[in-house]
Structure 1
């Protein structure tokens, strides 16, 4: 029982870290795309 709990906790922590990393990457990419879009619009206008 204890071993199963430890394995489950480890897997859960790994999933959380993976989700946070992916979310941070997606957020950074979105910010970069929006920043480039705003700069392009300011140049056009």
Structure 2
């Protein structure tokens, strides 16, 4: 089992098919973050 730390460098505003950014296996864990509804990242910066 692996643990992945993933920091996005871009975001999509649509739900649908997008190119994968990670290869994970059953049992792996992933820590990541996302933007809020106003398009701000976790530090409050607009993306």
Structure ranking higher on relative contact order (CA contacts 8 Å, 6+ apart)? 2
* TM-score category, normalised to shorter length: under 0.3
Answer 1 or 2: which has greater helix percent.
Answer: 1
Answer 1 or 2: which has greater strand percent.
Answer: 2
Structure 1 length normalisation: TM-score?
0.21
